[in-house]
Amino acid sequence: MPMTTDALPSPGAAPRQSTPPGAARSAPDRLLAVLAAFDHDHPALSLSDIGRRAGLSLTTAHRLVGALTEWGALERDPSGTYHVGLRLWEIAALAPRGLALRQIALPYLEDLYEATHENVQLAVRDGDEVVYIEWLSGRSAVGVHIRVGARWPLHATGVGLALLAYGDSASQEEYCQGPLASFTPYTVTDGAKLRRLLAEVRRTGVAVSSRQVTEDALSVAAPVRGPGGAVVAAVSVVVPQVGAQVPVLTPAVRVAARGISRALGWQPEEQRRGSLIPGRGAAPS
């Protein structure tokens, strides 16, 4: 199945390193390198695989893997292969931008799916990438390889454009200066063009990513706001590029994003003004 917009990075990507090559690595760096050896393409690893992917000697890997297994961060099956342990799931569930946000958003994502019967996604920003924290899809939806926890560059996805457009100007400018990875002939790799695209997102309140990752899909996304009005996430629907009707999809995506925002405690500006008028829900000053 071909990869489509808002999908996973290319298989086999090396794990991200927290320490530059050649630098002295502290004990925490080595522990994190062991955990970072696992990813969506490598969910099960042998001890030698962990050592190789983490850049550790077999002796060091054995010692660290043993400690992590004893604590519950890793689990060892009868064949001797290691997997991520449930103890890490317990800890990850406490992340406010993870499971808690997903639980609040899920009813609105389900409504968006029922309205479209296409891929529906919720993502947050982590540096120059988006991280997907929920995904709903049906049998007839356009094929994607998305999984919860997947990452993708901001500029190539609808949710990424929605998050980047509402970030601070300094981080936007730094990102636009590149380099911008290319995946298809339609991927935006020119900084000036990306700046114009982000301005359009801010003007319309929605982001459209068409054929940027593969040439068969289109994504429409909208920002999700937290209690103070800052954009904390983005929601999107991904449909086949052929026959995609952006004007029809846009209101549904906006409604979903607005519903999640309200559930998080955000109030539209007009509602906040109204609440300050005597007799409309707030005490007079």
Enumerate the domain spans of the chain: 27-92, 99-271
Q: For residue 59, what pLDDT is reported?
A: 93
Residues 6+ away with beta carbon under 8 Å from 272: none
Q: For residue 145, what pLDDT is reported?
A: 55
Dist. CA 134–CA 99, nearest whole Å: 9
pTM value is 0.70
Dist. CA 37–CA 33, nearest whole Å: 6
Phi (first) and psi of residue 49, to 5 degrees? -65, -40
Q: For residue 4, what pLDDT is reported?
A: 42
Say whether pLDDT at 11 is over 80: no
In CATH, which superfamily holds the domain spanning 99-271?
GAF domain (3.30.450.40)
Overall fold of domain 27-92 = Arc Repressor Mutant, subunit A (1.10.10)
Chain-centroid distance of CA 211 in Å reads: 18
Q: How far is CA 104 from CA 80, 96, 131, in A?
A: 39, 11, 17
Q: For residue 243, what pLDDT is reported?
A: 83
What confidence tens digit (pLDDT) does each residue in 83-136 have?
988 888 777 767 666 677 888 999 999 999 999 989 999 999 999 999 888 988
Q: What is the mean pLDDT of the chain?
A: 83
Region 10-24: mean pLDDT is 44
Say whether pLDDT at 15 is over 60: no
Say whether pLDDT at 24 is over 70: no
Amino acid at 146: I
Q: For residue 12, what pLDDT is reported?
A: 35
